[in-house]
Amino acid sequence: MAMSCPDQPLGRRRVLATATGLAAGALLPLDSARAAASSYANPVIWQDFADIDVIRVGAAYYASASTMHYSPGAPVLRSYDLVNWEIAGHSVPTLDFGAKYDLNGARGYVRGVWASSLAYRPSNKTFYWLGQIDFARTYVYTATAAEGPWSRLTTISTPYYDAGLLVDTDDTLYVAYGNTTINVAQLSPDGRGQVRTQQVFTTPSSVGTLEGSRFYKVNGQYYIFLTRPANGQYVLKSSGGPFGPYTLRQVLLDLRGPIPGGGVPHQGGLVQTQSGAWYYMAFVDAYPGGRMPVLAPVSWTSDGWPVVQLVNGAWGASYPQPALPAPPRQVTPMTGVDTFDGTTLKPRWEWNHNPDPTKWSVGDGLTLRTATVTDDLYWARNTLTHRIQGPTSTATVDFDVSAMRDGDRAGLAVLRDSSAWIGVKRDAGVTRVVMVNGLTMDGSWNTTGTGVEVAAAPLAGNRVRLRANADIRPGAARPAVFSYSTDGAAFVRLGPAFSMGNDWRFFMGHRFALFNHATRSLGGAVRATRFELSVP
């Protein structure tokens, strides 16, 4: 096969090949490589990014993740050292998959963008995102830069469940997909259609469910990484080509993870550095915050099987820093201040379902005009969400509420299938700051509680600073505490602590959320002039 030189684009989903004949895992000399004496800590990202797919293109690393009903979907993360990451953009600009993603007569909670695939195709210098939606069909998006713009290339009638896209050394596109029954499809040269599909493996009953395909080619052999949710990782290997035959080996099972109270690392991506080293980036179930990415080195056996390097029989809480060239710049932190300047939202933000674009704007702060008349926050359009930083973090937002109308509700929520918020109610010309809890959904994601006001205080002026502190350490229900300030300095706690549950079935973790909706009639607005996500 053609070998990949270390200075060429090297991506997961195209071929992961060793450099110029060196054994897998061997290190190439790099004059600019940093010494690996320092260490990094897991999780490498303490925010909710699940079903990781990771690639390398030149000196940059990119990863994609599931986002379910949040829009835009499928964030693209970027790093230069596999440890420090920023959000570059989103592969799915809008969830235009039906009215339910617009909160129009139906809702898309826990649907939308599931485990999907990110690839880079050197022949046309193009990024590819591929994923199935609603078990109906597969969508393919492309871009020439990770930050976009991304556009839809095609739809394919076969729904490639939990897909992994491979760009082979001869530029052929293959997709591994399926649950328990694993299939491989070959796409047309332009990536717009399916040439053939074939079942390549049936999971033994002794193993159980396997899904979450990630497809690789290493040293002429084909590998399909598969997850046994949520505690195991297996690998299929074929020396006979992408359609097999494949043999199965367990990579990890019931492995102790690096996050106290969290689960077993699984369902991630394999990537080779420009120095020839290999790493596996998986996620750990760590509710109430979500699923957190963790990173570990990988070595290879003499007969071509990957082995995750452990520390005392567990996924390490820390490892030596990857020996890589100094980054060309520092990545943009996922915490800090946003004053909503510019003409677009920064990629750290995702809406709860698609927004109504006529009802919000940025520039001089973030203006949220009421887009929905409802007493149910889960039905309210234009609710803007932000991942919570672990293990604990604080969201603070400054609101100008002078344009609110009677019946309007605006504030800062801790949002999931069980939610609470602090914010402002305006009724009969009277403005109050309130704390509301008891917003709940059932297991089918129907609303079972629209909230109960449990604390309130009068608000004399039109400006208020709202704050939510969230503890998302996994292993138990954790508290979120709300407070407010009218002078921007002294904060007053409002209401009891809200208990964030650690159940996994909503999949996405709790998020901070900014909202403004009407309960009587449209026409009101609020303006968020400053948002800060801070850590102790």
Residues 6+ apart with CB under 8 A from 446: none
Residue 12: per-residue pLDDT: 37
- Whether residues 292 and 344 share a domain: the answer is no
Residue 367, domain member (yes or no): yes
Residue 288: per-residue pLDDT: 98
Residue 500, domain member (yes or no): yes
In contact, 157 and 145? CB cutoff 8 Å: no
Residue 111: per-residue pLDDT: 98
CATH code for position 136: 2.115.10.20
**pTM attached to this predicted model:** 0.93
- Whether residues 465 and 367 share a domain: the answer is yes
Among residues 292, 320, 348, which one ends one of the domains? 320
- Whether residues 295 and 375 share a domain: the answer is no
- Whether residues 250 and 387 share a domain: the answer is no
Phi (first) and psi of residue 131, to 5 degrees: -165, 155
- Whether residues 160 and 297 share a domain: the answer is yes
**Residue 378 DSSP code:** G
Instruction: For 47-61, give one letter per residue: b (16+ CB within 10 A) or e.
Output: bbbbbbbbbbbeeeb
Residue 116: per-residue pLDDT: 98
Q: Give me the residues of the chain with pLDDT under 70, please.
A: 1-37
Number of domains in the chain: 2
- Whether residues 139 and 280 share a domain: the answer is yes
For 155-166, the DSSP string reads: EESS--TT-EEE
Residue 5: per-residue pLDDT: 33
Residue 10: per-residue pLDDT: 37
Cα gap 122→167, rounded to integer Å: 9
CA-closest candidate to residue 332, choices 348, 350, 343, 321: 348
Residue 15, domain member (yes or no): no
- Whether residues 307 and 385 share a domain: the answer is no
- Whether residues 231 and 286 share a domain: the answer is yes
Convert the pLDDT of each residue in 18-74 to its tens digit: 332 333 333 333 333 444 449 999 999 999 999 999 999 999 999 999 999 999 999
Range of the domain at 123: 39-320
CATH code for position 406: 2.60.120.200
